[in-house]
C-alpha cells in the first residue's frame, strides 16, 4: 500500500506537468480529467501518505496529512474537475491546445502546493500555479481581463519577492525549510515580526485579501466562466493554505500582528458587504464573495495568531475552512453563471481606462527614463566625444606634424646631435666624479 501511495503522491503534480506538453497528450482523450486521476486515487487512500524527495530542489517532500491537506485537496479535485469540464465549452469552440497546457500547468502547481511539506516546495509549486493562472486569465481574455491579469501579475511578483525574503529568513534561522521545523524556529526568532509581516503581505496579495483585492473584481467579471470557477479554489485557497502553513501559528503569540490581521479581516468583510449591497448585478459577486470569505478567514487567523492557545484548540478546522471557501466561491460563480445564461459578459466601460496604480507606474518609468537612465550614458558619450574632439583639435595635429618636420631638418638634427653629445658629456662630468 505504501508504495502505491508514494507513487500517487509523486504522480499527482507530475502527471499534469507531463501532459502539459502538447505532443504527449495528443492521443489522450480528456487529458485534463486524466491528469486529476492520481489526486483522486490519493484521496481514496484512507491512510496518510508521505514521501521524501531529498534530490528535488533543495531537499523536498510531498505528503498528504489528514488535518490540513485532505480537505483542500478534495475541494481542489472537485473544482478542477468541474472547470475541466467547462473548459471546452468556453466560446463554443474546441479547447485550444495552449489553453489546455496552461490549465495543466496551473493544475500541477495547485495540487503540488497542497502536498508540499516544506517552504521551498510550496513556494515553487505556488509560483508555477501563479504564472499558469495568469496565462489562463490572459489567453483568450478581453482587454479588461488582460489589464486585470496584469495587475494580478504585478501583485504576484511582489508577493513572490516578499515570500522569498521570508523564505530566506526562515531558512537562515531554522537551518532547514520543513514546515514543522520552521514554525517553532521562527516563533523563537527575534525577527519573527518581520517574518510574519512578509508572509502576510505575500499571501494577502495572492489571496486578494483587503486591501490587495484590486485584481479580483475586474477579473471575475470578464474572464471565461471555466476560469472564474477556479478563482476561489486556486489562488485564494492556496494562499490561505500558505498562511496556515508558513505562519508560526500555535507556537507564538503575536497580539499586535493578530490585531492587524483581524482589522484587515473586518475591513474586508465590511467592504465586501457594502460593495455587494451597492451593486445590482451579480457579475462581481464571486469576487466580493472571495473578499468576504478571506476576510472571515483573516479574523479567525488573527485570533489564532494573537494567542497560541486559541490556535491550538481551533486550528484543526483550518483545512476544512479553506476547502469551504473554495467550494463556496465556486458555487457562487456557478450560481451567477446560471442566472446570467445567455447574456454576454458585462464589461464595464469604466474598466477600459487604466487604473490609478498603472498610470502612476507608467509615469514613474517615463520620468526615470528622462531623469537618470538615459542621461547618464549621454553624459559619458558626451565625455568620449569631447575626448575625441580634443584629439582632433588642430593644435594637436599641427604639433605632431610640425614637430616631425622640424626634426627632419638637417640644421635641427645636427644641433640636436651636438646637444645630446654635450649634455651626456656634461652630465657624466658633473655627476660621475663623485
Partner 1 sequence: MPFAGVPWEVLIILLPLAGAMACFLWPRRALPLALLTALAVSVGVAGLGWQVVTQGVKRHAVGGWGAPLGIDLYADGLSLLMLAVTAVVALAVGVYARGYFKARAARAFWPLSLFLWAALNALFLSADIFNLYVTLELLGLAAVALVALAGGAAALNGAMRYLLVGLLGSLAYLLGVALLYHGFGSLDLAILGERVEASPVVWAAMGLMSAGLLLKTALFPLHFWLPAAHASAPAPVSALLSALVVKASFYILLRLWLTAFPPTDAVVAQLLGLLGAGAVLWGGMQALRQTRLKLLVAYSTVAQLGYLFLAFPLASVMGWGGAIYLLLSHAVAKTAMFMAAGNIRRFGGHDRIADLDRVAQRLPLTIAAFGLAGVSIMGLPPSGGFIAKWLLLEAAVRTNQWWWVVVLVAGGLLTAAWVFRVIGYAFTQARVPHAPRAVPVGMEWAALAMAVTAIVLGLVAPWPLALLAVGAPFAGGAGG
Partner 2 sequence: MSGEAALPLLVLASSLLPGLVIFFLPEQRVALRTTLNLAGAVLKLALVGVMIWGVFHGVHYEARLPLLPGLDLVLRADPLAMLFVVLSSFLWLVTTVYAIGYLEGSPHRSRFFGFFSLCVTATVGVALAGNLITFLLFYELLTLATYPLIVHRGTDEARRAGRTYLIYTIAGGALLLIGTVWLYTLSGTLAFTSRGFLSGLDASLHGALAVIFVLLIAGLGVKAALIPLHGWLPQAMVAPAPVSALLHAVAVVKAGAFGIVRVLHDVYGIQFAAGLGLTLPLAMLAAATVVYGSLRALFQDDLKRRLAFSTVSQVAYIVLGIAIAGPLAVVGGLVHLVHQGLMKITLFFCAGNLAETLGIHKISEMDGVGRRMPWTMTAFSIGALGMIGVPPTVGFISKWYLGLGALETGQGWVIAVLAGSSLLNAAYFLPILYAAWFKAPAGDWPAERDFGRRETAWALLAPSLLTAFLTLAFGLLALAPFSPLQWASFIADLEYAR
User: Given the rule CB under 8 A, which residues bind partner 1?
Assistant: 397, 400, 403-404, 407-409, 412-414, 416-418, 420-434
Using CB distances below 5 to 8 A depending on partner kind, what does residue 420 bind out of partner 2, partner 1, none?
Answer: partner 1
Per the CB < 8 A criterion, the answer to whether 276 and 285 are in contact is: yes
Write out 254-318 in H/E/C secondary structure. Answer: CHHHHHHHHHHHHHHHHHHHHHHHHCCCCCCHHHHHHHHHHHHHHHHHHHHHHCHHHHHHHHHHH
Considering beta carbons, is residue 22 or 403 the nearer one to partner 1?
A: 403
Per the CB < 8 A criterion, the answer to whether 166 and 192 are in contact is: no
CA–CA–CA angle 141, 143, 144 (5° rounding): 95
* Least gap, CB of 424 to partner 1 (angstroms): 5
* Least gap, CB of 394 to partner 1 (angstroms): 14
Which one among 68, 74, 116, 169 touches partner 2, defined by CB under 8 A? 169
Stretch that binds partner 2, among 169-177, 276-284, 333-341, 343-351 (CB under 8 A): 169-177
Which one among 106, 117, 139, 262 touches partner 2, defined by CB under 8 A? 139
Strand partners, 51: 62
Using CB distances below 5 to 8 A depending on partner kind, what does residue 403 bind out of partner 2, partner 1, none?
Answer: partner 1
Q: Where are the alpha helices (DSSP H) in 351-409?
A: 356-368, 375-392, 394-407
* C-alpha dist (Å) from residue 432 to 43, 284, 426, 427, 428: 102, 101, 9, 8, 5
Stretch that binds partner 2, among 32-40, 132-140, 290-298, 322-330 (CB under 8 A): 132-140
Q: How many chain residues are in contact with partner 2, going by CB under 8 A?
A: 36
* Least gap, CB of 95 to partner 2 (angstroms): 16
The DSSP symbol for 349 reads G
Considering beta carbons, is residue 97 or 400 the nearer one to partner 1?
A: 400
Residue 106, interface with partner 2 (CB under 8 A)?
Answer: no
Whole-number Å distance between alpha carbons of 50 and 66: 11
Residue 58, interface with partner 2 (CB under 8 A)?
Answer: yes
Using CB distances below 5 to 8 A depending on partner kind, what does residue 407 bind out of partner 2, partner 1, none?
Answer: partner 1
* Least gap, CB of 93 to partner 2 (angstroms): 16
Whole-number Å distance between alpha carbons of 293 and 328: 9
Whole-number Å distance between alpha carbons of 7 and 2: 9
* Least gap, CB of 300 to partner 2 (angstroms): 30
Residue 178, interface with partner 2 (CB under 8 A)?
Answer: no
Stretch that binds partner 2, among 68-76, 80-88, 366-374, 403-411 (CB under 8 A): 366-374
Residue 374, interface with partner 2 (CB under 8 A)?
Answer: yes
Closest CA to 237 of 160, 177, 294, 180: 294
Whole-number Å distance between alpha carbons of 358 and 125: 28
Using CB distances below 5 to 8 A depending on partner kind, what does residue 131 bind out of partner 1, partner 2, none?
Answer: partner 2
**Residue whose entry in the numeric block shows the C-alpha cell 469551504:** 324
**Residue whose entry in the numeric block shows the C-alpha cell 486591501:** 211
Closest CA to 168 of 129, 199, 201: 199
* Least gap, CB of 231 to partner 1 (angstroms): 59
**Residue whose entry in the numeric block shows the C-alpha cell 472571515:** 296
Q: Give the H or E element holding residue 74.
A: helix 70-86
Using CB distances below 5 to 8 A depending on partner kind, what does residue 135 bind out of partner 2, partner 1, none?
Answer: partner 2
Residue 391, interface with partner 2 (CB under 8 A)?
Answer: no
Which three cell numbers mark 390? 580634443
* Least gap, CB of 387 to partner 1 (angstroms): 14
| Residues at the interface with partner 2 (CB under 8 A) | 54-59, 98, 120, 123-124, 127, 131, 135, 138-139, 146, 153, 157-158, 160-161, 164-165, 167-169, 171-172, 365, 368-369, 372-374, 377, 380
Amino acid at each position: 500500500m505504501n508504495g502505491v501511495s508514494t507513487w500517487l503522491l509523486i504522480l499527482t503534480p507530475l502527471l499534469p506537468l507531463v501532459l502539459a506538453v502538447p505532443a504527449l497528450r495528443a492521443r489522450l482523450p480528456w487529458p485534463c480529467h486524466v491528469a486529476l486521476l492520481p489526486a483522486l486515487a490519493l484521496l481514496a487512500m484512507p491512510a496518510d501518505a508521505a514521501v521524501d524527495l531529498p534530490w528535488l530542489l533543495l531537499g523536498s517532500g510531498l505528503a498528504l496529512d489528514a488535518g490540513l491537506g485532505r480537505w483542500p485537496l478534495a475541494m481542489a479535485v472537485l473544482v478542477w474537475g468541474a472547470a475541466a469540464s467547462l473548459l471546452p465549452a468556453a466560446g463554443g469552440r474546441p479547447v485550444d491546445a495552449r489553453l489546455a497546457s496552461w490549465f495543466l500547468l496551473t493544475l500541477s502547481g495547485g495540487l503540488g502546493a497542497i502536498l508540499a511539506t516544506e517552504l521551498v516546495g510550496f513556494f515553487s509549486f505556488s509560483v508555477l500555479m501563479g504564472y499558469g493562472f495568469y496565462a489562463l486569465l490572459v489567453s483568450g481574455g478581453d482587454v479588461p481581463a488582460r489589464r486585470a491579469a496584469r495587475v494580478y501579475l504585478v501583485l504576484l511578483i511582489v508577493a513572490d519577492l516578499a515570500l522569498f525574503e521570508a523564505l530566506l529568513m526562515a531558512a537562515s534561522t531554522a537551518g532547514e525549510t520543513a514546515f514543522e521545523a520552521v514554525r517553532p524556529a521562527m516563533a523563537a526568532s527575534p525577527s519573527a515580526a518581520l517574518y510574519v509581516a512578509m508572509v502576510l503581505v505575500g499571501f494577502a496579495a495572492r489571496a486578494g485579501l483587503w486591501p490587495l483585492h484590486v485584481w479580483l473584481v475586474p477579473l471575475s467579471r470578464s474572464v471565461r466562466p471555466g476560469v472564474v470557477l477556479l478563482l476561489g479554489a486556486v489562488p485564494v485557497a492556496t494562499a490561505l493554505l500558505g498562511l496556515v502553513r508558513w505562519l508560526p501559528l500555535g507556537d507564538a503569540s503575536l497580539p499586535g500582528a493578530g490585531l492587524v490581521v483581524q482589522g484587515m479581516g473586518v475591513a474586508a468583510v465590511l467592504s465586501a458587504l457594502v460593495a455587494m449591497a451597492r451593486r445590482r448585478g451579480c457579475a462581481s459577486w464571486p469576487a466580493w464573495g472571495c473578499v468576504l470569505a478571506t476576510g472571515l478567514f483573516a479574523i479567525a487567523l488573527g485570533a489564532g495568531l494573537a494567542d497560541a492557545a486559541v490556535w491550538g484548540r481551533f486550528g484543526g478546522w483550518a483545512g476544512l475552512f479553506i476547502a469551504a471557501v473554495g467550494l463556496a466561491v465556486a458555487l457562487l460563480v456557478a450560481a451567477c453563471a446560471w442566472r446570467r445564461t445567455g447574456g454576454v459578459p458585462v464589461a464595464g466601460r469604466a474598466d477600459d481606462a487604466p487604473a490609478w496604480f498603472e498610470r502612476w507606474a507608467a509615469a514613474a518609468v517615463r520620468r526615470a527614463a528622462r531623469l537618470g537612465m538615459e542621461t547618464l550614458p549621454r553624459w559619458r558619450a558626451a565625455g568620449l566625444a569631447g575626448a575625441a574632439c580634443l584629439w582632433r583639435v588642430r593644435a594637436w595635429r599641427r604639433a605632431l606634424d610640425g614637430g616631425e618636420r622640424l626634426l627632419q631638418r638637417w640644421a635641427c638634427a645636427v644641433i640636436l646631435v651636438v646637444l645630446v653629445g654635450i649634455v651626456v658629456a656634461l652630465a657624466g662630468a658633473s655627476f660621475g666624479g663623485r
